């Protein structure tokens, strides 16, 4: 399917209400306001198409960039490709839900995510921590070094409250994900969540929100979700 055709189809799926929601969350023009679920039939027609993926991602249009993540072929993407994608990911819905998700389906995921966590850049750090959340929530526990994940929990405990807001949010989610989806360190994650306590995220022109990983872990345990793994990373 040609690039112009896909852009027309995405434009036709746009809804003003959804567009306003995306704008409130940090997206900016150009965008159409397409619900992610509405993209699925189009994605099924196209399947994976890396050439089209790169054309769409390069538009700077939020919906096109998101759709690019759905039809990407992660296994042929290089570290340089992901760095380029991150350079263009201007807010967390791109860094954490497009770039990090796509990266999580590759063999280089941990290597790249580790570099981003150490980068000192808010959205790269956020994407790095988020990538580990996608990985831990999908792959077998045996694919991870217990010592490494434990040291990452220690890093979160020691630095989360001094980190940028989007990074804070992804770090908090990392504690929660380890607590539910990585059984070898369930108890350590619970202890870390208690030590960290409430995490304040400031919102532009809105009241701050408070994240509490310990509460969210307990809710999932009560629902019988301990050990939960997603079948797929991308939708």
Chain segment 26-74, per-residue pLDDT in tens: 999 999 999 999 999 999 999 999 999 999 999 999 999 999 999 999 9
According to the model, what pLDDT value does residue 207 have?
86
Q: Which percentage of the chain shows pLDDT scores above 90? A: 95
Pinpoint the alpha helices (H) of 47-185: 50-57, 62-71, 79-88, 92-94, 100-103, 109-117, 122-136, 146-159, 165-181
Determine contact, residues 54/65, Cβ cutoff 8 Å: no
Reading the block at residue 2, the tokens are: 């040609």
Look at residue 198 and tell me whether its pLDDT is greater than 90.
yes
| Structure tokens given for 161 | 């409250």
Cβ-contact 189, 178 below 8 angstroms: yes
Query: Which pLDDT does position 235 carry in this prediction?
Result: 60
Which tokens is 99 given? 């770039």
**Does residue 205 register a pLDDT over 80?**
no
Q: Are 197 and 161 in contact (CB under 8 A)?
A: no
Prediction pTM value: 0.95
């Amino acid at each position: 399917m040609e690039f112009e055709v896909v852009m027309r189809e995405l434009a036709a799926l746009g809804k003003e209400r959804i567009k306003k929601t995306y704008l409130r969350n940090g997206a900016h023009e150009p965008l159409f306001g397409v619900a992610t679920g509405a993209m699925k039939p189009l994605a099924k027609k196209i399947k994976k198409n890396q050439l089209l993926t790169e054309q769409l991602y390069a538009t700077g249009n939020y919906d096109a960039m998101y759709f690019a993540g759905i039809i990407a072929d992660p296994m042929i993407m290089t570290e340089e490709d992901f760095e380029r994608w991150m350079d263009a990911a201007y807010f967390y819905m791109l860094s954490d839900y497009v770039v990090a998700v796509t990266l999580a389906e590759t063999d280089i995921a941990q290597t790249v995510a580790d570099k981003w966590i150490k980068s000192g850049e808010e959205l790269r750090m956020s994407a790095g921590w988020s990538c580990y959340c996608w990985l831990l929530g999908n792959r077998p526990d045996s694919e991870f070094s217990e010592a490494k994940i434990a040291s990452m929990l220690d890093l979160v405990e020691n630095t989360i409250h001094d980190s940028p807001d989007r990074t804070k949010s992804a770090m908090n989610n990392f504690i929660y994900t380890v607590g539910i989806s990585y059984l070898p360190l369930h108890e350590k994650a619970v202890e870390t969540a208690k030590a960290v306590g409430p995490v304040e995220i400031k919102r532009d022109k809105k009241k701050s929100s408070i994240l509490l990983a310990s509460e969210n872990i307990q809710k999932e345990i009560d629902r019988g979700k301990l050990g939960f793994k997603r079948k797929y990373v991308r939708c």
